[in-house]
Amino acid sequence: MLELPKTAVLAFDESGVVEIHADATTAAIAYEGIDVESGVVSFFDADGHGLDAHFITPNEHGSLLRFLKWVKSGTYTLVLAAEPEKPIALAFSEAVALEKNEWFETLDALMAHLRSRGVVVDFSP
């Protein structure tokens, strides 16, 4: 396996799947702004710091005849969160699977790597 790049972004989705992206741009392309805004996915950098979406183009919501609702996904970049919604350790406690990637074969291997870099990945309430 390859060394995890410092630019890597970890995406935790609400179903418990963790996906590793090479950088913030790749991560932002992978998830629609609507999903990010609604909290379907949480992002962290390779050091375990939370990332927030900064919307360049806002999501649009509307309806036709009050019954047919529509949404248009905006565009965003990922920036370091001033106050992360949740710590990465809590995100890992909710994780159940790691999406196939070029860096790690298992969720445990990813967590061990981050631990070795000083990232707290074990949640204790």
Residue 4 lies in a domain: no
Does residue 61 have a pLDDT over 90? no
Average pLDDT over residues 68-87: 86
Residue 124 lies in a domain: no
What contacts 24+ positions apart, CB below 8 Å, involve 110-116?
110/10, 110/18, 110/20, 113/4, 114/46, 114/48, 114/88
Residue 87 lies in a domain: yes
d(CA 7, CA 103): 13
Evaluate if pTM is beyond 0.95: no
Residue 46 lies in a domain: yes
Residue 123 lies in a domain: no
Confidence category of residue 48, pLDDT binned at 50, 70, 90: very high
Residue 98 lies in a domain: yes
Average pLDDT over residues 31-56: 93
Total tally of structural domains belonging to the chain: 1
User: pLDDT digit string (tens) for 84-96?
Assistant: 788 999 999 999 9
Per-residue confidence (pLDDT) for residue 66, from 0 to 100? 76
Does residue 1 have a pLDDT over 70? no
Range of 96's domain? 9-115
Question: What's the chain's average pLDDT?
Answer: 92
Confidence category of residue 52, pLDDT binned at 50, 70, 90: very high
